[in-house]
Structure 1
Amino acid sequence: MALRNAILAALLEGEASGYDLAKGFDASVANFWTSTPQQIYRELEKMEGQGLVSARVIAQERRPNKRLFSLTEAGRAELHGYTTQRPKPIAIRDELLVQVQSLEAGDAEAVRRAVRNKQEVAETKFKRYERLRDRLLAGSTETDFLATADRVGPYLTLARGIAFEQENIRWCEFVLDVLDRRTDHG
């Protein structure tokens, strides 16, 4: 998936600066797409040159001028075309899994620490995603939100992020339990 598609999808929420998009990526699409602010700014420049987004300048006092980007009709058409394509299958590339696979030849305590670290990261993300879900629902039930919201895509992708982190936590607990039992029983 190209970064441009993630940016186009983010701009469906409305006009945003590059800074706002970078912050928004951290808060909304980080469960399935990561990018640095520099990558976002470079891509916005390319997309503007290709007519996929337009920018307007907001003059600011004591700060550099701000550029706000919005989707053009060509950008909407590009995003629509993207949604009609069959997604490429994903492959897991996770260094921790290679470390766990190599456990017998490696340092079991170091692997245990790495698994605990992954668990802590997953728990932190899970809690953040739950807070984001609560903000999206704004007191509504999930059923009501999904039946009445203008855009359900952000909620559906967030639900995938929540499930992904729950599975990461479950797997880490499983691995740590196995390692603890193997240590206790020789």
Structure 2
Amino acid sequence: MDAFLQQFQHLQIQLEDITSATDNFNDDNCIGRGGFGKVYKGELSHSKGRSMVAIKDRGHGQGIPEFLKEITSLSHYSHENLISLLGFCYQGDKMILGLRYLHDPRGTHQRLIHCDVENANILLDDNWNGKVSDFGLSKMGPANEEQSVIITFAAGTPGYYDPQYAMTNTLAKESDQWSY
């Protein structure tokens, strides 16, 4: 775990800064809830300056694997329609992500299949542009393969995931498209 976190040391944010930004995780600043826990709004200083952020505080449900996957996914992908990772905090039992904002067949990076595209995971920025968030259930696959599939246990929100995925546990690049 320490070796993993070391490679992302430049993204680490102190718990005191997050506590201050959320007014000690005050429910008045809570803007949503998900499988990871509560999401708070706050203004936070980070490595790229100071901005309004969504702060995901792990409360229940998802755990360390999903937290680490979200750090990995969001630090490797940059797109105008994705929430970007500004930083994270992992101190004691606190696992917190600091967030700011998918499928590109021409990309050289691994393909990312979100696995949980639903209305609660689409956030709006100040200009009402949609931004995909919550990559805790996402799966990575090979890049630039027209027919690549990933076999895994089905997870996500019933009614939003691809019925083929639910029946066969097989993800394809079209699986996220079905959610729309």
Higher relative contact order structure (alpha carbons within 8 Å, sequence separation ≥ 6): 1
**Structure whose CA Rg is larger:** 1
Fold equivalence (TM over 0.5):
no
TM-score interval for Structure 1 and Structure 2 normalised by the shorter chain: under 0.3
The structure whose residues are more often helix, as a share, is 1
Using structure 1 for the length normalisation, give the TM-score.
0.23
The structure whose residues are more often strand, as a share, is 2
